[in-house]
Structure 1
Amino acid sequence: MWLLILCVLVTAVPRLRGPIPFYLLLGLLVVAVTCAPVTTPLPIVALLQFIFRDPKRLQIIGFYLVLVLLTGATVTWQLRHTVQANTRVRKIFHLLIVLVFVPGVLFQCTLLYLATGIALAAFVVLELMRLLEIPPFSDRLTDAFHSFRDEKDAGVLALTPFCLLIGCSMPLWLTPCPCSGKDTLILLSGILAVGVGDTAASVVGSKMGRNMWGNTSRSLEGTIAFVMSILLSVWLLEATGLLAMTQAKWFATIFAAINSALVEAFTDQVDNLVLPLVFYILVGLA
């Protein structure tokens, strides 16, 4: 709610688009979110208690901070090269988000659920800074946008990172009581479809794709890689005891992987949103 108020205010009141008014407004947003008397104790106190109560939670947070540093290093490395980032370079972010979601879903579901909401809010604030040209981050954000944009970023908005985050988080947001431990496979459906399957299809298709699907740019080799990478990932999770699978779940996973791969091959929509939804629905049939 407070984030929506921030967006409405900077849109309706041009004077708030300057650096000082914007950061003051952003500071008020942070205070309102963390100190509003909507929980007992206050949200900031409850959050700190939640974080420091479990040592394993601290380890996961430390691991996430390392991934943030790797992401920053990837962006910095790419910006040093004036060329446009190719598909394989952009898929690095898919691999990084796999490293975020898989441990999160398996070991710290509640933390991941909370973090996805915070990450979405951070994305919105950073995009506001870029669009409103708020120093000192706007120039760097604009350079990163132009370097990593793809054909789906038609216009001034950086839709790709939003779609990637929303697509991977969608199963968590759509599932009632997602962290009850009832069905981990459903919670992993977004990351399996986008982070694993779509990444494998893109890398294999761009490297070894020879047999194209009709007039599309997608290849049969990429589609096969999509299916096989998902099935191999699920098998590894089951073999290590991290995921409980039944015959019905295996059937649903194979069915979902094949259909999602075909959707990826033929759709002209934003696959980071479409594929998780398709996979989530089909896996949920088990």
Structure 2
Amino acid sequence: LIVLGGLSFVLNQLIKRSLTVVGGRGDPADYFLLVTLVALVLLGIIFSALFFFMDSSTWTSALFFYMMTAVLGLGIFAPWLQYLIKRHPLFWLVDFLLQSNTRLYLLGFWTFLALTACVVVLCHGSKTTTDSKKPEISTVTRKYFHFLAVATYIPGLICDTQLLFVSAVVCLAVFVLLEYVRYFRIKPLGQTLRNLLTLFLDERDSGPLILTHIYLLLGMSLPIWLFPRLCAPSLSGPATLLPYCGVL
């Protein structure tokens, strides 16, 4: 209920922001976030309903999952975003990412951090295949991922909040889609993701969903998503601390 309430609040704020834009021309990043959130929620509802009646761990279900995601994404959500921003989303995204060298440097740095995190997960996962006893994941290892998150957000907040805004939306979409794959055991990655992510659970994680990493992303991103104008780097005074609320 808390998650649904928070999601409803975010969608409400985004819709109101879209409707109150002067001349109907808003920031494409705002529309990108709105369409992404709606798409993720609808995909979750559709797959939950369908896989309630069919086995989701078969190759047939996997093919259906990927085809349905592609059809809805390219046939409904992408045209909807194009209608809102008055431009093809792919062309807008490429131009957005290539606007400055700073953005390329940030993307390269973030890619390095993401690869580092993947290496850590795979290294711990390999221990389960070589050791008969399940390895214990220490608190230090979990905090390492928190450090990577902070190392990702601080440069973005300092150098380019718009890029951080869009990148966080993309990251949220990837996290949620991977959680769908893991939860429904979609081949070929579903069971592998279950085995790898289960290593990092502790007594605080319960239920069939693994949402800790998504909560961390949301907590750090909500300030710049809900108040992007107030998080501009050019602001001075107490307002300069607003974008760092999620990090702090």
Report the Cα offset of residue 35 of structure 1: 4.3
| TM-align CA RMSD | 1.8
Rate the CA distance shift 1:106–1:119 in 2: closer, same or farther, 3 A: same
2:44 is equivalent to residue 7 of structure 1? yes
For these two proteins, the number of residue pairs brought into alignment is 192
Could you tell me how far 1:34 is from its partner in structure 2?
Answer: 3.8
1:20 to 49, 54, 63: 63
Q: 117, 121, 124: which is aligned to 1:75? A: 121
Task: Report the Cα offset of residue 176 of structure 1.
Answer: 5.0
TM norm structure 2: 0.72
Counterpart of 1:71, as a letter, is: A
TM-score for the superposition, normalised by structure 1: 0.63
1:12-48: CA deviations, max 9, x gaps? 2235941000000121244244444322221211111
Question: 1:48 aligned to 2:94?
Answer: yes
**In structure 2, C-alpha distance between the alignment counterparts of 1:80 and 1:11, rounded to whole Å:** 31
Corresponding residue number in structure 2 for 1:171: 223
Residues 178-187 or 91-100, more deviating: 178-187
8 A Cα contact 2:230 2:242, kept in partner: no
Does the 8 Å CA contact 1:120/1:165 hold for their aligned counterparts? yes
- Of all paired residues, the percent bearing the same amino acid is 31
Deviation at 1:179, TM superposition (A): 4.1
Larger Rg: 1
Q: Give the AA of the match of 2:185.
A: E
Indicate if the aligned counterparts of 2:182 and 2:191 stay in contact, CA closer than 8 A: yes
Confirm or deny that 1:136 pairs with 2:168.
no
Matched, 1:190 2:227: no
Secondary structure of residue in 1 paired with 2:204: coil
Query: Following the alignment from structure 2 to structure 1, what is the Cα–Cα distance between the partners of residues 198 and 158?
Result: 35
**Structure 1 residues 85-164: aligned runs within 5 Å:** 85-164=137-216
CA contact (8 A) 1:152 1:160 kept: no
With over 3 angstroms needed to count, the CA separation of the structure-2 counterparts of 1:9 and 1:16, relative to structure 1, is: farther
More relative contact order in 1 or in 2 (CA 8 Å, sep 6+)? 2
Q: Secondary structure at the match of 1:23?
A: helix
**Could you tell me how far apart the structure 2 residues matched to 1:140 and 1:16 are?**
18
**Which deviations, in whole Å up to 9, do the C-alpha atoms of 1:60-111 show, x marking residues without a partner?**
1111111111011010111122313111111110011111100011101001
Q: What secondary structure does 1:125 align onto?
A: helix
Q: Secondary structure at the match of 1:180?
A: coil
Tell me how far apart the structure 2 counterparts of residues 34 and 73 of structure 1 sit (CA, whole Å). Answer: 32
Question: For 1:152, what is the secondary structure of its paired residue?
Answer: coil
Following the alignment from structure 2 to structure 1, what is the Cα–Cα distance between the partners of residues 156 and 55?
Answer: 37
Question: CA-to-partner distance for each residue in 1:89-142, whole Å, 9 max, x for gaps?
Answer: 111100111111000111010011111122112111111101110111112211
What CA distance in whole angstroms lies between the structure 2 residues aligned with 1:61 and 1:20?
A: 31
Contact 1:130 1:138 survives alignment (8 Å): yes
Local SS of the residue matching 2:188: coil
Question: Aligned-pair distance for 1:175?
Answer: 2.4
* 4+ aligned runs moved over 4 Å, structure 1: none
Mapped contact 1:71–1:93 kept (Cα < 8 A): yes
Q: Structure 1 residues 34 and 66, CA, compared in 2 at 3 Å: closer, same or farther? A: farther
Counterpart amino acid of 1:172?
A: I
2-structure distance, mates of 1:125, 1:155? 18
Residues in 1 aligned to 2:182 and 2:73: alpha-carbon distance in whole angstroms: 19
